[in-house]
């Protein structure tokens, strides 16, 4: 590679990296916590999910209950499990029965608790798990700016990754294992950045590509709709198999008993280890009624085993089928595998814990990159004014990034003390708290203090989370263990481990600092 | 099983890691000198252990999930070894404690 090309790539890496660094850190940090989104939600609500990945519901009993509250005739009704929670989404389409008044025929969407059958809407069931998950793609910003911002950050991250690996290409093998923490500061950051960056490259590349795809796919869809579908986006979504097929409403009541549970049972017995996560009913109670039962094979059997069966209720025949045991189509492979790879939910807790660690290592790579940037510019030949500016940039960056740890831990306490905390309180507490802690560290003008105090405060608060949970709900660790509240127990232990590791790192830093000052 | 996979991955990557001549590897586990002297054998043993661990992961999680899961296991273990070994944080004491914790968690959750 010529020197000129090398320099171009090197500067591209530096500039794209430094511009997105804070946003990328927020994405990595919240993304790491989002691996446990469902556990955090269940922990917060004091719920436990015994059979994850599938809907545990008596559909017929639920429909009977629903029919007492509103007329279901001629509606499309969908039960869908979005996350591993007790709550499932219920989407009631507007009734096609023209005799009903507008109010009675109106559609609705709500969440149904499969355990106690209570219902809630999105805002009242908003939780910390959901908050952190949505902060991962800046959904708190006005739509669609947050989505696009996170999408472009992911795109530039991809850019930084590729330019980074090309710049480092010649030294990949020779420097593969190299990390020398006892040398000068610039070497420490460079070693850490390159060694961890190279090893974690496949992980980060997967997340950059899939993240860009999720957030910027609209930019791919829009020209396709215009050029190939004459502006008819419905047709495109039909071809991409995102939309359900359409069945005509015949306005004639069906004269046989409806048993949705039996269809679900049939599908589950047809394919071994098939988890049903969506039941869609078309034209309920009408002669044109159909039932679609869809889901996935267990990830152990097939990582991308999406399938469904659509029944015609009138004559009991099968209208359409997608067999998950057969070869996966290209379309399903793309649609499914991107989500599996990004969500890391195919290998149980083990994979998610490890992915969480690798996500935090990603945070470290980002910060070490910023610190290289500063150290490389901290030279005597650079004007004092510029040096001061660079130092201030890094001070702001570190304060914003590192204060996420204590404010996240503190939010876990909040949602236990005020339960349910609700959307607006969570927003105010997290964002104002984050701002105040950041301002405090910025004003202190000491990166060492920012690092140690955020670590210390976050760890102490983290260790107190299981205690606060025990006091507020009575779900002490031993109670959760005894009663098999897996998700609650997991989050409590998770914070204990994080807290202890944080304190150990803190004591190591203090010890090293003391030794250094004695040696001086 | 996960504990065994992680232990094999750790031992495998550590054995390969200790063969490096680019920097002085601190002697923490007493096997580093041997690995450096017999680097070919150490690399071979390390690679075999990594392959066995990968095979076990495929056995546990299935083909697709197993390979992807294992790649992430390997990346994490490798990153941690490179980061913590020069800081003298990888000792028999810390390894045993970590493995015990993983073992307990495996039986409680996985």
Gap between the Cα atoms of A409 and A413, Å rounded:
7
Q: Decide if B72 and A304 are in contact by the 8 Å CB cutoff.
A: no
Q: Is residue A25 part of a domain?
A: no
Count up the domains in chain A and report the number: 1
Residues in A 280-319 with any Cβ partner in B closer than 8 A: 299-304
- If one counts every other C-beta atom within 10 angstroms of the C-beta of residue A388, the result is 10
Partner residue opposite A346 with nearest CB, options B20, B68, B105: B68
Find tokens 């990603």 and name the residue: A362
Q: Decide if B64 and A347 are in contact by the 8 Å CB cutoff.
A: no
Please give, rounded to a whole number of angstroms, the shortest distance from the CA of B91 to a CA of chain A.
15
Q: At A123, is the secondary structure helix, strand, or coil?
A: coil
Q: CB contact, 8 Å: A109 with chain B?
A: no
Residue of A nearest to B81 (CA): A177
Answer for the pair A132, A408: CB distance below 8 angstroms, yes or no: yes
Dihedral sign of CA atoms A217, A346, A26, A469 in order: positive
Please give, rounded to a whole number of angstroms, the shortest distance from the CA of B108 to a CA of chain A.
8
Q: Is the pTM of this model over 0.95?
A: no
Partner residue opposite A354 with nearest CB, options B65, B76, B87: B76
Q: Is residue A105 part of a domain?
A: yes
Taking alpha carbons only, the member of A300, A266, A284 closest to residue A97 is: A284
Strand partners, A310: A292, A320
Q: CB contact, 8 Å: B87 with chain A?
A: yes
Over residues A387-410, the pLDDT tens digits come to 999 999 999 999 999 999 999 999
Per-residue pLDDT of chain A (520 residues; tens, 9 = 90+): 888 999 999 999 999 999 999 999 999 999 999 999 999 999 999 988 877 778 989 999 999 999 888 888 889 999 999 898 889 999 999 888 777 788 888 888 999 999 888 999 888 889 999 999 999 999 999 988 999 999 999 999 999 999 999 999 888 888 888 888 888 888 888 999 999 999 999 999 999 999 999 998 888 777 888 888 888 878 888 787 788 888 999 989 988 888 999 999 999 999 988 999 999 999 999 999 999 999 999 888 888 889 999 999 998 899 999 999 998 888 888 888 888 899 988 888 889 999 999 999 999 999 999 999 999 888 888 899 999 999 999 999 999 999 999 999 999 999 999 988 888 999 999 999 999 999 999 999 999 999 999 999 999 999 999 999 999 999 999 999 999 888 999 999 999 999 999 999 999 889 888 887 777 6
For chain B, the farthest-separated pair of C-alpha atoms sits apart, in whole angstroms, at 42
Q: Is residue A350 part of a domain?
A: no
Element counts in chain A: helices (H) and strands (E): 18, 8
Residue of A nearest to B76 (CA): A358
Answer for the pair A125, A87: CB distance below 8 angstroms, yes or no: yes
Q: Is residue A337 part of a domain?
A: yes
Q: Decide if B72 and A179 are in contact by the 8 Å CB cutoff.
A: no
With beta carbons under 8 A apart, name residues in chain A contacting B79: 195-196, 199-200, 358, 361
Per domain, the residue ranges of chain B are 2-108
Q: Is residue A110 part of a domain?
A: yes
Residues in A 184-243 with any Cβ partner in B closer than 8 A: 192, 195-196, 199-200, 202-203
Strand partners, A291: A281, A311
CA dihedral angle for residue B61, residue B63, residue B69, residue B74, rounded to 10 degrees = 120
Gap between the Cα atoms of A54 and A82, Å rounded:
10
Residues in Cβ contact with A443 at an 8 Å cutoff, skipping those fewer than 6 apart:
none
Answer for the pair A270, A284: CB distance below 8 angstroms, yes or no: no
Please give, rounded to a whole number of angstroms, the shortest distance from the CA of B51 to a CA of chain A.
17
- Band (B110; pLDDT cuts 50, 70, 90): low
ipTM at complex level: 0.89
């Amino acid at each position: 590679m010529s020197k000129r090309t090398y320099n171009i790539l090197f500067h591209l890496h530096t500039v794209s990296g430094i511009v997105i660094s804070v946003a990328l850190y927020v994405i990595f940090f919240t993304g790491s916590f989002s691996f446990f989104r469902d556990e955090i939600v269940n922990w917060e609500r004091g719920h436990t999910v015994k059979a994850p990945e599938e809907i545990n519901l008596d559909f017929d009993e639920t429909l009977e209950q629903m029919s007492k509250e509103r007329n279901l005739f001629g509606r499309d009704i969908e039960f869908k499990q979005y996350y591993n929670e007790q709550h499932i989404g219920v989407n009631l389409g507007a009734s096609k029965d023209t005799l009903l008044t507008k109010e009675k025929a109106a559609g609705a969407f709500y969440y149904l608790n499969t355990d106690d059958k209570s219902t809630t809407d999105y805002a009242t069931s908003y939780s910390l798990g959901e908050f952190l998950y949505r902060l991962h793609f800046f959904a708190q910003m006005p739509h669609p700016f947050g989505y696009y911002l996170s999408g472009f950050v992911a795109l530039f991250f991809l850019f930084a990754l590729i330019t980074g690996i090309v710049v480092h290409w010649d030294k990949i093998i020779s420097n593969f294992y190299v990390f020398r923490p006892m040398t000068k500061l610039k070497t420490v950051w460079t070693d850490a950045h390159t060694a961890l960056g190279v090893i974690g490259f496949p992980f980060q590349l997967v997340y950059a590509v899939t993240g860009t795809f999720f957030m910027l796919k609209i930019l791919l869809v829009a020209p396709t709709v215009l050029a190939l579908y004459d502006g008819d986006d419905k047709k495109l979504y039909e071809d991409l198999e995102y939309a359900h097929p359409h069945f005509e409403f015949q306005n004639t009541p069906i004269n046989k008993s409806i048993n949705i549970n039996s269809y679900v049972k049939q599908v589950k017995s047809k394919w071994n280890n098939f988890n049903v996560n969506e039941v869609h009913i078309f034209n309920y109670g009408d002669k044109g009624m159909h039932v679609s039962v869809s889901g996935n094979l267990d990830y152990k059997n097939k990582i991308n085993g999406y399938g469904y069966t659509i029944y015609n209720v009138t004559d009991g025949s099968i209208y359409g089928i997608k067999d998950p045991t057969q070869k996966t189509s290209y379309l399903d492979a793309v649609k499914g595998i991107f989500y599996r790879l990004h969500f890391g939910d195919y290998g149980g807790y083990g994979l998610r814990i490890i992915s969480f660690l690798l996500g935090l290592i990603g945070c470290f790579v980002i910060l070490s990159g910023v610190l290289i940037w500063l150290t490389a510019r901290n030279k005597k030949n650079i004007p004092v004014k510029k040096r001061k500016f660079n130092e201030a940039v890094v001070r702001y960056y570190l304060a914003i990034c590192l204060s996420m740890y204590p404010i996240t831990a503190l939010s876990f306490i909040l949602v236990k003390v005020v339960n349910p905390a609700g959307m607006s309180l969570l927003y105010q507490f997290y964002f104002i708290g984050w701002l105040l802690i950041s301002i405090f560290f910025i004003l202190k003008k000491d990166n060492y203090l920012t690092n140690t105090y955020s670590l210390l405060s976050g760890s102490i608060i983290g260790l107190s989370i299981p205690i606060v949970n025990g006091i507020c709900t009575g779900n002490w660790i031993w109670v959760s263990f005894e009663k098999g509240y897996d998700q609650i127990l997991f989050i409590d232990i998770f914070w204990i481990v994080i807290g202890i590791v944080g304190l150990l790192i803190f004591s190591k830093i203090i010890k090293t600092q003391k030794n250094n000052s004695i040696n001086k | 099983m996960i504990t065994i996979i992680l232990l094999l991955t750790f031992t495998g990557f550590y054995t390969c890691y200790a063969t490096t001549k680019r920097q002085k590897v601190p002697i923490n586990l007493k096997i580093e000198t041997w690995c450096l002297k017999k680097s070919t054998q150490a690399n071979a043993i390390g690679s075999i252990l990594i392959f066995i661990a990968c095979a076990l992961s495929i056995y546990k999680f299935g083909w697709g999930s197993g390979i992807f899961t294992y790649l992430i296991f390997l990346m994490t273990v490798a990153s941690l070894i490179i980061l913590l070994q020069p800081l003298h944080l990888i000792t028999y004491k810390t390894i045993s404690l970590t493995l015990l914790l993983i073992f307990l968690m495996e039986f409680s959750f996985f």
